[in-house]
Amino acid sequence: MAELVPLDVGALDIKYSFFRQAVRRMWSYRSARIGFFVILFFVLVAICVPIFWYYDAKSDSNLPEKLLPPSWAHPFGTDQLGRDVFRRVAHGAPISLQVGLVAVALGLGVGSVLGMIAGFLRGWVDSVIMRLMDILLAFPATLLAIGIVAARGPGLGNTMIAIGIVSIPGYARIARSMVLSLREREFVSAAQAIGAGPFRVLFRHILPNGLSPLVVQATLNIATAVLEAAALGFLGLGAQPPQPEWGAMLSDSYKFLTVGAWWPVLFPGLAIMLTVLGFNLLGDGLRDALDPRMLVTTKRF
C-alpha cells in the first residue's frame, strides 16, 4: 500500500495569503480597477456577441445606405458598403482578443521554456539560445512580424504566429534572469539534495517561485499584440476582408475621411485604444501588486 504524503498546509497558506494580499493591493489602485473593468467589458462582448447576435460578413452589404452618419438605426454609422459599423466593431472584438491571447500564449510558452533552460544549464546551451534571441531582437518587432507574415502569406493564423515569434525574446530574457536569481537559493539546493532531477527542479520549484514577472509581462504584451495585429491588418497582412477586424476596418475606411466620413475610422480606433489601455492599466497594477519593492502607501490613479 502506498504511503500517504502529508499535505504541507503551511506552505499552501503562505501562497494563498500572498495571492490574497496581491489581489487586495492591485484592487486598491484605481487605474488597475479601471483596466480590469475595461477588459471585462470587451471579454463579455467577445463571448456574448457571437452567441446572441448572428453575423455573416460575406453577405453583409447594403449599398443604398453607405456612409450614413451615426443615428438611432446605426449608432456608429455605416461604412462604404453600407455595413453597420457598430455591428462590425462588436464582432471584431473576438478576433482581436483571440490574436492577443494566442500570440502571447505562443510567445510565453516558447520563450519562457527556452529562457529557463538557458539560465539553468548555462554553458554552450545558454550561449546558443541567447544568441538566437539576440538575432531576433536585432530586428524591429513590427518589421520582423511583417516579414514573417509576408513569407507565410496574409491571414489571421499567420498573424498570430508572427506576433508570437516576435515576443519570444522578451520572455526568454525575463525567464533566464529569473532562473539565474533563484538557482542558488536554499530551496533549490534542498530539492537537489533529495535527488530531484534538473527539469523537476526547474519546473516544479523554480518556475512557481518566479512566475510573477512572466505574468506581468504577458498581461502587458496582450496590449502590444492587439496593437500589432491592428497594424498588420491595416497593411492588409492580417485578417482578410470581409472579416470585421479592427485594423482592417481602419484600412478600408481611412480614405473616406476626405469626404467627411469620420465614423468608420473613429469607432474601430477607439476600440483598439480602449483595449490596449485596459491591458496596460491592469498590467501596471499587477506589476506593483506582485513586486514587493514597488509597494506604496498611497493609492495611485
pLDDT at 259: 85
**Residue 26 half-sphere exposure toward CB, CA atoms < 13 A:** 22
The answer on pLDDT for 298 being more than 50 is no
- The backbone region for 29, taken as left when phi is positive above 0, alpha when psi lies in -120 to 50, beta otherwise, is beta
β-bridge partners, 78: 84
Entry pTM: 0.82
Q: Is the dihedral of CA 70, 46, 102, 292 positive or negative?
A: positive
SS3 29: coil
**Peptide bond connecting 208 to the previous residue in cis, omega within 30 degrees of 0:** no
The answer on pLDDT for 223 being more than 80 is yes
Which residues, 6 or more positions from 253, have their beta carbon under 8 angstroms from its beta carbon? 79, 80, 261, 264, 265, 268
- Return d(Cα 41, Cα 279) in angstroms, integer: 12
The answer on pLDDT for 283 being more than 80 is yes
- Return d(Cα 274, Cα 269) in angstroms, integer: 9
Nearest alpha carbon to residue 118 among 194, 162, 169: 169
Q: So where are the chain's domains?
A: 23-52+97-294
Cell triple for residue 35?
483596466
Q: pLDDT per residue over 139-188, tens digit each?
A: 888 889 999 998 888 888 899 999 999 999 999 999 998 888 887 777 77
Q: 18 versus 7: which is more confidently predicted?
A: 18
SS3 78: strand
Spacing of C-alpha 32 from chain mean position: 16
The answer on pLDDT for 279 being more than 60 is yes
Average pLDDT, the chain: 84
**CATH T-level topology, domain 23-52+97-294:** MetI-like fold (1.10.3720)
pLDDT at 107: 93
β-bridge partners, 84: 78
Q: pLDDT per residue over 229-263, tens digit each?
A: 988 888 888 888 888 889 888 988 888 888 889 99
Q: pLDDT per residue over 71-117, tens digit each?
A: 998 999 999 889 999 999 999 999 989 999 999 999 999 999 999 99
Cell triple for residue 62?
447594403
Diameter of the chain by CA atoms? 81
pLDDT > 70 fraction of the chain, expressed in percent and rounded: 89
pLDDT at 1: 39
As separate numbers, helices (DSSP H) first and strands (DSSP E) second, the chain gives 12, 0
